A and B are shown apart, each in its own frame.
Chain A
Amino acid sequence: MITNSVVRIFLLALVTSATFVSCKKTEEDVIDPDTKNSVTVEFENRVGDQKLILGTTPYKNASGESFSLTALNYFVSNISLKNENGTVQKFPNQYFLVKQTDAKSKLITLKDVPSGNYTEMSFMIGVDSLKSVSPVTERTGVLDPTSYGDDGMYWSWNSGYIFLKIEGTSVAVPKTVNANQNFAIHVGGYGGGWNGSAKTVNNLRTITVPLTTKATVRANIAPEVHLFVDALKIFDGPNKLSLATTNSVHSPAVATPVAENYKTMFQVDHVHNNKQ
């Protein structure tokens, strides 16, 4: 009995000291910017409060039009992270193509992020003007304009990338416009005007989202930022777009209302800061 209580006291002391030790350790969470880790950003495409599923799943926009989706692709570039001290960490020359058909493409990994508590993330939808006029040699990976096959993300006849495209079918699309009632909304337009060429509309949009749960990068923490991307906002953003009239967009000038809309479709759902 005596032995038992001694053991108990001993154990209690051990636990208490362990708690103290661990508390002390937490307080000592000094951020060493020389240590780095990665940050993963997940783009989860949705339609309103539903998951986005390509095919025949029916959705409805604010105009009351029923539609289904066959494609949603967009370029993400010029990502930056701001920490609680206001220091901005940029990730230049990194271009990502998020495709609903490709699960892997929805996970973007930023490498070598210095330790810190990040409170804000910014990124561009599209390919910046500098890269849009770069020589063929510099257009590799997802920027290779010849690589897309039937799932084009490049306007060959009006040199430039398609920043975002959404395609599908809706009974709202007049059969006189498309016999199969398909719609295709392609947004591009980096501004043109390069080397004396004609100026076009600039539909590059930068999105900034707060990280209310900070992304705490440490040597042993590689945060994951999970974004909800609500495709419904493409129709029901600041501009209410009806598929009866907006169903075939293939030129920068007419795409601006769409770009203004999708600028509002990204929000942070949660941030994971799990220890490795």
Chain B
Amino acid sequence: MKLKITVLVTSVALLVMAFFSSAHQKALLFDVPPHFPAPVYPFEKNPLTEAGIELGRTLFYDALLSKDNTISCGSCHQQAAGFTQSGQALSRGINDLTTRRNAMPLVNLAWSSHFGWDGGVHDLDLFPMVPIQNEAEMNESLPNILEKLRKKRQYPVLFTKAFGSPDITDERFLKALSQFMLTMVSANSRYDRAVRHQGATFTPSERAGWILVERKCSGCHPEPLFTDFSFRNNGLASTVNDDPGQYGITLNNEDRYKFKVPTLRNVAVTAPYMHDGRFTTLEEVVAHYTGVEHGETLDHLLKRDRETGILGISLTPTEQADIVAFLRTLTDDSFLQDCRFAENKGL
């Protein structure tokens, strides 16, 4: 009798533990950091599952997505470089072709409602079609990719685990990629641990830089995501490659030279900078804002400094150095090294 009760109690306890641990694991698939706003991605239309994320990760790192099986998403979005293409001003795709723009960082995508430097895509699920079809990126078509996936032994298995049957459809393909990319949340930099009072601290220079960023930069790069997701002309000098930015989507003259405000998170590892990668260091980037070009669509926040009334953002050399010091505190090593986001070599 006693033995029976013990067995019963133990099994109930085990069941309860199993329930809680699985619930706990589910919560971990996507956690909204406590100091972040609510995400905008409609998760209810694409609920994350472990198997879905795993399939997405496998697809993300599979070069089969390109016409000649040489380029994967990960080729231009490298984890150690904050999911940008390390050192490339303009990202390089298939046949060593150069694309028009710098690879954007993939991070905190669940909070973004439009994608790409010109914001031409409004749904994360539809974004992968852009690089897939671009002749200088992957130059491939979705129907071809699905055919290739069907012929590889691992995919019907992975699709079954993720979606309940081995059918390889474009909807599942796109949703799995979204699931993986949505999990790429960066919210554990030294800055985050400092504002959450988790033991991290700022140096005096970093703290001064933080205050300056709040005062001078938060109009476009507000905390905690360090972007307001808007499109602005930040006064870059016109170049031979006259990329009109958002104008290319709207053909509205007011949108000429407007580009998406990128996040500053992990910015120290995402060089080179701007939509065309024209700046190689953070020092150059910060210095740029002290001397912007006055074009017709220049953002109103850059027309005159709120304190000095001068074009651009007025910053002394020390202030510029402080800002750069602060920007380096936004590097999230746990994100950049998280093996959940790395290529799974075991497959």
Contacts and interface: CB of A to CB of B under 8 A. Distances in A.
Task: Specify whether A and B are partners.
Answer: yes
Interface of A: 133, 135-137, 139, 144-147, 149-150, 152, 154-159, 192, 194-201, 251-254
Interface in B119-175: 119-123, 125-126, 129-130, 132-134, 141-144, 170-171, 173-175
17 contacts: A136-B125, A137-B45, A137-B171, A146-B142, A146-B170, A150-B141, A157-B116, A157-B120, A157-B130, A159-B120, A195-B114, A196-B114, A198-B231, A251-B248, A253-B250, A253-B251, A254-B251
A51 to B, nearest CB: 31
A253 B129 contact: no
Contact of A200 (B45, B113, B250): B250
A195 B113 contact: yes
Contacts of B125: 135-136
Nearest to B246: A198
B: contact size bracket:
35 or more
Given A157-B120, A158-B249, A198-B246, A145 B114 contact: no
Interface of B: 40, 42, 45-46, 113-114, 116, 118-123, 125-126, 129-130, 132-134, 141-144, 170-171, 173-175, 229, 231, 246, 248-252, 255
Contact of A135 (B116, B123, B142): B123
A172 B200 CA distance: 69
Contact of A136 (B40, B126, B246): B126
Contacts of A252: 251
| Majority SS at the chain A contact face | loop
Nearest to A253: B251
A195 B124 CA distance: 13
Closest 5 pairs (CB-CB, A-B): A253-B251, A146-B142, A146-B170, A156-B129, A158-B120
A123 B121 CA distance: 27
Interface core residue of B42, B114, B229, B255 (most chain A CB under 10 Å): B114
B122 A197 contact: yes
B133 A156 contact: yes
B113 A147 contact: no
A252 B121 CA distance: 15
Given A147-B142, A198-B250, 5 more contacts: A136-B123, A156-B121, A201-B251, A251-B248, A253-B252
B130 A156 contact: yes
A197 B46 CA distance: 22
B84 to A, nearest CB: 19
B142 A198 contact: no
A155 B248 CA distance: 13
A83 B229 CA distance: 49
Contact of A156 (B118, B126, B143, B231): B126
Contacts of B231: 198
Contacts of B143: 146-147, 149
B142 A192 contact: no
Contacts of B171: 136-137, 139, 144
Given A136-B171, A150-B141, A145 B129 contact: yes
A150 B249 CA distance: 22
B175 to A, nearest CB: 7
Interface core residue of B46, B118, B119 (most chain A CB under 10 Å): B119
A263 B24 CA distance: 57
Interface core residue of B46, B113, B129 (most chain A CB under 10 Å): B129
A71 B248 CA distance: 25
Contacts of B122: 133, 159, 194-195, 197
Contacts of B229: 196
Given A147-B142, A147-B143, A133 B123 contact: yes
B174 A146 contact: yes
A156 B45 CA distance: 21
A22 B143 CA distance: 57
Given A156-B121, A156-B126, A159-B120, A199 B133 contact: no
A155 B118 CA distance: 14
B73 to A, nearest CB: 15
Contact of B249 (A144, A195, A200): A200
